[in-house]
């Protein structure tokens, strides 16, 4: 079974430029998450989708961040414009609602460096 796929793995951009990250979850997983992880810290939830609906986006900085999950499968996270403080690893995860075990499957992440 294929795991969560993310691309690109690494991205270096200059501040004020736009950037987009792509995620393909595990087949059949209806819930998808985007997290931000700073060095030495735990993942912090940005947005959670159930199918194509964003059910929790309270931590998403909506002035510069946007996300979409068309057809309830793939998802894209965008930052426009990027700031120096956005440098971090962006993780995508998926799960089955109702598994009841707090078990999420994470992708390898995209390491973003803003210069």
Contacts with other proteins, residue ranges (CB under 8 A): 3-4, 31, 40-45, 48, 50, 55-56, 91, 93, 95-109
Closest to other proteins by CB, 85 vs 100, is 100
Instruction: Judge if the upstream peptide bond of residue 95 is cis by omega within 30 degrees of 0.
Output: no
Q: How far is the CB of 91 from other proteins (least distance, A)?
A: 7
Cα 57 to the chain's mean position, in Å? 12
Q: How far is the CB of 76 from other proteins (least distance, A)?
A: 19
Buried/exposed 43-64: b ≥16 CB within 10 Å, e otherwise: bebbbbbeeeeeeebeebeeee
Closest to other proteins by CB, 63 vs 103, is 103
């Amino acid at each position: 079974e294929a795991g969560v796929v993310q691309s690109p793995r690494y991205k270096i951009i200059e501040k004020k430029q736009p950037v987009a990250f792509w995620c393909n979850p595990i087949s059949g997983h209806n819930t998808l998450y985007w997290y931000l992880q700073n060095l030495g810290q735990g993942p912090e939830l940005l947005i959670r989708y159930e199918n194509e609906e964003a059910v929790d986006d309270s931590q998403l900085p909506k002035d510069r961040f946007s996300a979409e999950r068309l057809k309830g499968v793939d998802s894209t996270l965008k930052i426009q414009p990027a700031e120096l403080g956005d440098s971090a690893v962006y993780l995508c995860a998926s799960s089955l609602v109702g598994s009841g075990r707090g078990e999420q499957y994470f992708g390898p992440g995209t390491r973003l460096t803003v210069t």
